[in-house]
Structure formats: structure tokens, C-alpha cells
Amino acid sequence: MGFFSRYFLRGATADPLCALSGKTRIGIAGCGPSVGVTHFSIMTACYAVSVLRRRTALLEWNQSGDFARLQEVYGKKNVMDSTGKTFNILDIYFFREAGREQLRECLERDFCMVIIDFGVFREDIRDDFLQCDRRFLVCSASEWQLPGFAAFLSGNKEQGCRYEYFSAFGKRENTGMAERFLKVSIRQIPLSLDAFVITGESLSFFGKFLK
């Protein structure tokens, strides 16, 4: 893990005021496949734990199997329950193959931040996604994926104002073009080779919209 992660996570504790301020539920979904939803979800959770000092749960509400691979690499010794599907990496509580039952458990426990990795946006998660306090949609500004993003926006006009858009791939110029023609605001996710590492750039990025 990098310097910033080690520095901020050292002695990190849950926010003592979280019980008074309430819980925040963040849903993260992709406008299409392979746009970096899980990577961005981990980046968000890492910032919540290490910088905001919020006790954070990260739920895998999709069928990708990414959390099982994460557990194999990082969390085999940090299993938190008898099912083996809950594990801890750098004070982030990961819930594999999660759904409404695990969400209810997290909301009843002392988590201040509950982040849900929905994977690719689909109709069967629409209601659960809209119930989140913050709804992050990850797109790609790569030339070959922009048409899919435009089609997504066209099919979701009624909820468009409820979403916050992010782009992990593609040129800044393409993002600007998409903003002008599609009439949305898109935040450019900074390059991150390791989702668990907090860099100066990611500090500045998250600090603008996540408090």
C-alpha cells in the first residue's frame, strides 16, 4: 500500500458523531460494462475510511465475482463471519454477493457509510439504486463507448437529474464534448493504479464532493 494510505489509515477510528449525523448510502453503477465501477467503489470506500474516518461497508450487489478475487489476494486472514463472505481490508468491510438482507444488516450496525457496487446499471436494481442518498454513475469517454453512454441517458431522462456522473477512461476533451452535447456534468476520476492508495490527486478529487 502507498504512503498516503498508510499515513491516513494509521489509527483511523469511526467518526464519533456518525450516530448523530446519520448514515450515508452511496450507490455506484456503470452506464455499461468495463467502465471501472468496482475500482471506483474501492477508491470511494478507501477515502471514506482513511480521510473522513467513517466506518464503511462496501457491498457487492452484482454477479462479477470481483470481491471473491479480492478476498483471495488480500483478505483470506480477515474473514469476519461464518459464511466467509464478509472480510476486512484496511478497515473497509467487504460484503460478497450482497443484497437487501446484507444492506439491512449494515444499516442496523454502526456503519456511517454504506457503499454499494451495483456493477452495470440494469432494471432489476433501479429501485434500490434510487433509494441511495447519493447515486454515482460511471461512464467512459472513450470514443467507442460514448454512443452507449448517450443511449443510456436517452433511456433514463426522467431520473437524470438524480444522478452524479463520473468518467474513468477517455480523453478530457471527449468528456467535455459529452458534457456539451449530452448536457450533463461529468467528473473525471483521477488515474489510480491501486484503488487502495490515497494520492494527492485523489484527495483533491474526492474533497470536492464527498464530505
Residues 166 and 140 sit within 8 Å (Cβ to Cβ): no
Which helix (H) or strand (E) is 43 found in, with range?
helix 37-50
Higher pLDDT, 10 or 39: 39
Residue in the structure block whose three cell numbers are 449530452: 182
Q: Where are the domains of the chain?
A: 22-207
Q: What is the mean pLDDT of the chain?
A: 84
* pLDDT at residue 135 is higher than 70: yes
Beta sheet of 134-139, edge-to-edge order: 86-89, 92-95, 56-60, 113-120, 24-30, 134-139, 164-167, 186-188
CA distance 66 to 121: 16
Instruction: Quickly count: other Cβ atoms within 10 Å of residue 52's Cβ.
Output: 19
- Give me the mean pLDDT over the 174-189 stretch: 85
- Between 172 and 4, the more confident residue is 172
Q: Counting beta carbons within 10 angstroms of the beta carbon of residue 101, is it exposed (0 to 12), middle (13 to 18) or buried (19 or more)? A: exposed
Average pLDDT (106-129) is 94
At 50-62, the pLDDT tens digits run 999 999 999 999 9
CATH 3.40.605.10 fits 22-207, yes or no: no
Question: What pLDDT is attached to residue 154?
Answer: 72
Query: Structure pTM?
Result: 0.86
Residue 151 has pLDDT above 90, yes or no: no
Is residue 16 scored above 50 in pLDDT? Answer: no
pLDDT recorded at residue 6: 43
